[in-house]
Chains A and B, each alone.
Chain A
Amino acid sequence: MTSTLPPTIEVDDLVKSYGEVDAVRGVSFAVAPGEVFGFLGPNGAGKSTTINMLCTLAEPTSGAARVSGFDVVSRRDDVRRQIGLVFQDPTLDVRLTAEQNLWFHAELYDIDPGVIPARIDQLLEMVGLADRREQAVMTFSGGMKRRLEIARGLLHSPRVLFLDEPTIGLDPQTRSSIWRYIRALQETEGTTIFMTTHYMDEAEFCDRIAIMDRGEIVVLDTPEALKAAVGADRVVLGTADDDAALVALRDRFGIEATVAEGAVTFHVSNGERFVPRLFAELDVGITSVAVSRPTLDDVFMRHTGTTIRDAETGGVADLDRTMMRTMAGAKR
């Protein structure tokens, strides 16, 4: 995405510390108007903290950020008028109907009463809740609630829509329909979208992705460029003895493999051609083999040395994860 317009979001060396803990350690990036920008990383990487600073819910410890040209600290209210938000945790009043929730929002944002009904009709239509408009939100499924929150976030035609894990905990079908809305929206209203996710497959919907780990952006580019940079194919092996396989791979082929999600994983160019050699020369029993083109998972692994899922198994706390990684490293 190249654009001559000034960026919609500009972030300059943003830091947020909670006491001794640095949740965000100096991130800088810019998001162009109309771009779908994704923040990718495991829980606790600092994604939500960054989003909270951008949408004025948390004050940066240092550094600066501008949304639509307004500083998030000194022009807080101007920023708030420009943005829509969908949080990780639901923020609907479940005892009101879908429509009442939207009306409340419209009144709070002081939207011209003349345009509210049409806007509500069309947004409910868009997220497929038109026939449920008069039902209390407590009767809604998780996916319906999320769709209603997206509709609400768009009600006041924000320049930027922030989505913090918009699809977390939803079934694949609902996830893909939510993605359809987001893309349609970006096309028709030109809304800039800033989102966080820790689903790798979703990151592919973004124009650009920043991968975040332990409070820092480790890499930022288009999904294609990121995958191209990995270059090699990913080979996942099931073996009779993972440790022996790691040693054998290093000694015989000069390959540094890792054990990720319980299987020996490594990257090699021309994976299909490499596999027959592997069978011929590796003296460890192979129980399964899979070769795949690079995905964003590989990108993440390449830059952080672990898969997102493994990065999270140690718990959310940064310290825990660091320890897990050190232990995993020692085992290697």
Chain B
Amino acid sequence: MSAAVMADVAAARVPERTWRSEARAARAVWRRDMIRFANDRAQLMMWLVQPLLFLFVLGSGLQSLSAASTDGVDLKTFIFPGVVCVAVFFTAMISAASLVWDRELGFLKEMMIAPVSRTSIIVGKCVGGATIAASQGVIVLALAGLVDVPYDPLLILVAFGLLVLLAFTVSAFGVLVAVTIKQAQTFTWVMQLVVFPMVFLSGALYPVAGLPGWLELLNRVNPLTYAVDPMRHLVFSHLDVSETARRTLDPGVTWLGWHLPPLFEVGMVLLLGLTMLGLAIRRFARTE
């Protein structure tokens, strides 16, 4: 049976490598992650439920405590930009780190042995993680109206741009972690020791002015701070709140008294993302 079947099949040809074939390979890596994501019900559920937990459960729960100090601003409104960032952060981290599982379960070998550059694999993986994370951010963004953040087209557009940038940078970080660690188990530790602290130190859930010295220091060395701050600034610039509330809740990040412009922070995040992508590519190219 097989002989007859195979006789009339056109043989395939593997062409020389071009930038187009590299782009196609990266797209294939990306598309695989999309298919896997769409098939994974548990991850989809987490993806939908987690931001709601943060926003409505945590936000509503702490509201009663903070009502006095937020000067009329609902705590949910305050943490909204932070929750957008945290949601993107977690999802990008977990998605990009799926490379760890690809190694553990053997599939990485299929990619490593193909006649494609390692860069294409890393780029595809990074864009894949960023896509999933950014769409998570969009879901949270869509809830804006429920926490009294206006659906201003400009606000939505710029916020989208910011969350895409954050999604990319965190994905690059996740991929870098994934190519560095050798065991899937280690990743659990990275989540506990790096990712969770970063969220709590970022100012996503509290204002970053007037912190105790040690906390301020940790906050300022935390890259996530510089993604949360512009996002919060953006949201607050579209809110109708008192000057006192603005000063307390959206104080902006300072370095030794210098107030960082949001655009500068955005540049930092971008630069960080590109650096980590570069490191991940270099590191991955050296794995045997």
Contact = CB atoms under 8 A, between A and B. Distances in A.
Contacts of B109: 57, 87, 91
Interface string B81-93: 0000000000000
Interface in A110-147: 110-112, 115-116, 118-119, 122, 125-126, 136
Given A104-B28, A115-B10, A181 B40 contact: no
B32 interface: yes
Contacts of B11: 157, 189
Contact of A122 (B5, B24, B28, B35): B5
Given A93-B107, A184-B3, A189-B6, A156 B14 contact: yes
Interface residue tally on B, bucketed by range: 35 or more
A107 B17 CA distance: 12
A95 B36 contact: yes
A77 B15 CA distance: 11
B172 interface: no
Contacts of B1: 126
B24 A94 contact: no
Interface in B14-38: 14-17, 20-21, 24-25, 27-28, 31-32, 35-36
Interface stretch (B112-120, B126-134, B174-182): B112-120
B157 interface: no
A325 to B, nearest CB: 31
B9 interface: yes
A157 B12 CA distance: 5
A187 B13 CA distance: 19
B212 interface: no
Given A91-B109, A156-B14, A80 B5 contact: no
Contacts of A110: 14-15, 17, 20-21, 24-25
Interface in B23-69: 24-25, 27-28, 31-32, 35-36, 39-40
A96 B35 contact: yes
Contact of B114 (A94, A108, A112, A184): A108
Among A87, A91, A155, residue most surrounded by chain B Cβ atoms (within 10 Å): A91
Contacts of B21: 110
Contacts of B112: 57
B10 A180 contact: no
Contacts of B16: 81
B288 A93 contact: no
B192 interface: no
A184 B113 contact: no
A119 B10 CA distance: 7
A56 interface: yes
B2 A108 contact: no
Contact of B5 (A93, A126, A156): A126
B145 interface: no
Contacts of B14: 81-82, 109-111, 156-157
Nearest to A111: B12
Given A80-B114, A108-B116, A118-B9, A126 B35 contact: no
Given A104-B32, A156-B12, A109 B114 contact: yes
Nearest to B36: A95
In the A-B complex, list the 10 residue pairs whose CB atoms are closest, starting with the nearest. Answer: A107-B28, A110-B21, A80-B115, A184-B2, A157-B11, A81-B14, A188-B6, A108-B114, A91-B106, A91-B110
28 contacts: A55-B113, A77-B115, A81-B14, A81-B16, A87-B106, A92-B107, A94-B105, A96-B32, A96-B35, A104-B28, A104-B110, A105-B114, A107-B27, A108-B25, A108-B111, A108-B114, A109-B115, A110-B14, A110-B15, A115-B10, A116-B12, A122-B5, A122-B9, A156-B13, A180-B2, A184-B2, A184-B6, A188-B2
Interface of A: 55-59, 77, 80-82, 85, 87, 89-96, 100, 103-112, 115-116, 118-119, 122, 125-126, 136, 155-157, 180-181, 184-185, 187-189
